[in-house]
Structure 1
Amino acid sequence: MELAFVGAELVDAGTRRTGWRLAIAGSRILAVDHERSRAGAAVDLSGFLVVPGFIDLHTHGGGGVALHTTEPDEIWAYARWVTRTGTTAFLVNVVGVPEGLPERQLVAAVQAVTAHDQGALPLGIYLEGPFLNPSRRGAHHPSWLRLPDRALAERLLSLAGGHLRVVTLAPELPGALDVLDRLVAAGVTVALGHTDATYEVARQAFARGARLLTHCFNAMPPLLHRAPGPLGALVECPEACGELVADGHHVLPPVMRVLTRALGPERTVVVTDAQPGAGLPTGTTFAFAGLAARVDGDLARLADGTIAGSLLTMDRALRNLVELVEVPVEQAVRMLSEAPARALGLTHRKGRLAPGYDADLVVLDPSLRVHGTVCRGRVAYASPAFAERLVAAGVPLERDVGEPANAPGSTP
């Protein structure tokens, strides 16, 4: 079916356009032009913004659902839930397990990726570990960690079956650079993180092909005037991107401002690093890879008080960038769509509102709250206001695309 959206303000690639038609056919964007719809339904979105779908590279779950799991059904449930936050694609984050490798979790992730049907698209696997520095492990339990080893890397690649997209490692550990070389050769994006690397070591790792820095400022040495550390090396590597957990807690707004200005919208990859507790009430308990955690206001914490990821959603991250960091909407949108697509080498089909690209769209009101999410041409989430526009245009709605009044995970 061909479907056109008219009347909305299109925000894409750092620009705003009004009076344009966005037409989709099947799973792709057919046209973005000045013409009125000539075929199919035309949905009047006057008063709304349409932006490219958000891509969350680094998330552990949300809505009570964990991505580090042995059950593909849990990952599919997350894919359906997360569309209400504007996310149209994500990576399945797998962490460590005690005294071994997360083999069952990787198998489940592969099954979820290859048999996905509805909601946000799992683009592959993000393996955060096990080659992390114990001194910068954060919420990762010591029993999950391993020294870098080529044989272990080969096993992980085999288990992932070609779906391993990102691996976080600490480049200063013995054998880490050899593992880095193998992962890069396999087409995996290597991220530096949970690391005590010096500027010199991090710069060497970027020179050998690392292209991402995991949750900048967190679980790494600080940026100092005589010890620039991994952050200084990142700024100097134009091919690399940096993750930013834009909740205003992991990195305070003034420092978020410094990072976004240093990297620009092309290299700042906004992530949630969200836990299964995202969207749940304060005091709710949940499990992070077997560890007990709880919702503590805007943060997720382990029993000992350690911050264990965030409770952020991508739509809230967008508003934080605009409201707390004073990033223009046009640039903030790029950090949630085009920049993550660039980090994954998917700029040919993701992160833009352009003909031939995947029809991944988010409909926002002027306060930047999500009213609709379209995943590869299918309406995956619709607020009552967006649903009303669709019905008025004669567009049939699939079951379960709306939001009940008491739905968990809504983001005020």
Structure 2
Amino acid sequence: MSITLSDAQIVTPDGVHHGWLTIEEGRITHVGHGQAPRNGHSLAGQTIVPGFVDIHVHGGGGAGYPAGSEEQARQTIAFHRRHGTTTALASLVTAPLDHLKKSAGMLAKLCAEGLLAGIHYEGPYISAARCGAHRPELLRAPSATEFADLIGAGDGHVRMFTLAPELPNALDAVRECVNAGVIAAIGHTDATYEQAMAAIDEGASVATHLFNAMRPLGHRDPGPITAAMTDDRVTVEIVNDGVHLHPKVIDLVLSAVPTSRIAFITDAMNAAGMPDGDYPLGPMKVEVRSGVARLAGGGAIAGSTLTMDTAFHRAIHHNNLTLPQAAAVTSLTPAKILGLSHEIGSITTGKQADLVILNESLTITGVMKKGTWITQPTP
């Protein structure tokens, strides 16, 4: 079956042009300028960007991955797909090891179905001093046996592990990640600059939600933030929701780090897309007030209520990125992190037809995954 989308503003890594594209058997086969050679689905001047890739997301639409429920996992996937996320990791939070392994086993089946791109363990090997919305009593130092068990529980689908490099045996854990083909991410850490660099030298390649739950940047204590921002081997995650980071801090990162090393994430939890109220985040209780999620009792920020379409919108309107730059930080760079940029992440001939259609106000009107409409746009 062939689909032609015409009369559209198409955002590619090279720029934006008015034209058309053709999809056959779930892949982009042609990208053309101007008038389409044959009648197709006219988008009446709307914009096509690549499907969003979220490498750090816990939940949304009233459901979440840490619950360990397949029904909740499917609900979360469907919610974020409607908001343009066509590829995602399922992020877990610190919990008892048995629960983590059981959750990973369930999520592995959804990965095998093609619904998820992998599993992300955020914890339990993180710093008590920077634990944020993780239960301190469940934190632990890395153990080679435990680590192997957690990775094994994902049946080949564990893609990322966030840990604090200053913990005992943490560098061994980073090496284990690299050897297992798992991305080692530095996060929830009180590491010094030197400790962070030691982890990067061992193969750590992502900084989990830069600035958040990290030793702060000091002028004589550069810490993990400086290590991540200044090392070309590291991609930094940014939560662009107007809560986790001041927009000018994001501008600072964007001025210092190329978009090829910046991945916007949601870090969304169950309350994304839901009204204010009380929600779970793994074993923790979270209060959402005015759209801001915090641990019950006014504690630490506990994930976000962000969706990737909003992060994209903010990239344009708050950080003055161009459309191709915004597509890079929400699609192409995270696809590269996952080793999937040959398949997804940009509107390029031969890649999967994972597409998001945006109207003039950059609101989603349509979402396509592998050539099939999740939400079909109207002109």
The alpha carbon displacement at 1:367 in A equals 1.2
**Relative to structure 1, is the Cα distance of residues 98 and 187 closer, same or farther in structure 2, using a 3 angstrom cutoff?**
closer
Alignment of 1:357-368 (within 5 A): 357-368=351-362
Contact 1:65 1:75 survives alignment (8 Å): yes
- 2:33 match: 34
- 1:25 match: 24
Alignment of 1:71-82 (within 5 A): 71-82=69-80
Alignment deviations for residues 6-51 of structure 1 (CA, whole Å, 9 cap, x no partner): 1100112151111x22111122111112376557x61111220000
Alignment deviations for residues 219-240 of structure 1 (CA, whole Å, 9 cap, x no partner): 1111222111111111222121
Contact 2:10 2:20 survives alignment (8 Å): no
* Corresponding position: 1:164 with 2:162: no
Aligned residue pair count: 378
- 1:133 match: 127
Alignment of 1:56-71 (within 5 A): 56-71=54-69
* Corresponding position: 1:111 with 2:83: no
Partners of 2:167 and 2:120 lie apart in 1 by 20
The alpha carbon displacement at 1:84 in A equals 2.1
- 1:122 match: 116
Alignment deviations for residues 246-301 of structure 1 (CA, whole Å, 9 cap, x no partner): 0011110110100122112111100010110011112x221111322122113112
Contact 1:95 1:289 survives alignment (8 Å): yes
* Corresponding position: 1:204 with 2:202: no
The alpha carbon displacement at 1:101 in A equals 5.5
Alignment of 1:141-180 (within 5 A): 141-180=135-174
- 2:81 match: 83
Partners of 2:32 and 2:182 lie apart in 1 by 36
- 1:223 match: 217
Contact 2:10 2:16 survives alignment (8 Å): yes
**SS of equivalent to 1:275:** coil
The list of structure 1 runs, each at least 4 consecutive aligned residues, that deviate by more than 6 angstroms after superposition, is none
Partners of 2:109 and 2:98 lie apart in 1 by 21
- 1:335 match: 329
The alpha carbon displacement at 1:148 in A equals 0.7
What residue ranges of structure 1 are gaps of 5+ in the alignment? 390-412
Pick one of 340, 346, 362 that aligns with 1:346: 340
Amino acid at match of 1:17: H
The alpha carbon displacement at 1:155 in A equals 0.4
The alpha carbon displacement at 1:327 in A equals 2.0
Amino acid at match of 1:58: H
What is the TM-score normalised by the length of structure 1?
A: 0.88
Alignment of 1:300-339 (within 5 A): 300-306=293-299, 307-339=301-333
Partners of 2:266 and 2:318 lie apart in 1 by 16
- 2:288 match: 295
What residue ranges of structure 2 are gaps of 5+ in the alignment? none
Partners of 1:3 and 1:35 lie apart in 2 by 17
Contact 1:83 1:381 survives alignment (8 Å): no
**Relative to structure 1, is the Cα distance of residues 48 and 213 closer, same or farther in structure 2, using a 3 angstrom cutoff?**
same
Partners of 1:69 and 1:298 lie apart in 2 by 21
Alignment deviations for residues 77-133 of structure 1 (CA, whole Å, 9 cap, x no partner): 2222212211111101112224756111111111221135xxxx4101011011101
- 2:248 match: 254
Contact 1:192 1:214 survives alignment (8 Å): yes
Amino acid at match of 2:263: V
Partners of 1:205 and 1:87 lie apart in 2 by 30
Partners of 1:125 and 1:222 lie apart in 2 by 28
Contact 2:84 2:367 survives alignment (8 Å): yes
- 2:180 match: 186
Partners of 2:291 and 2:320 lie apart in 1 by 20
Partners of 1:246 and 1:26 lie apart in 2 by 34
Partners of 1:14 and 1:244 lie apart in 2 by 23
What is the TM-score normalised by the length of structure 2?
A: 0.96
Alignment of 1:258-277 (within 5 A): 258-277=252-271
Amino acid at match of 1:4: T
Alignment deviations for residues 129-184 of structure 1 (CA, whole Å, 9 cap, x no partner): 11101111000001331211111111011101110001000001000000110111
- 1:45 match: 43
Amino acid at match of 1:22: L
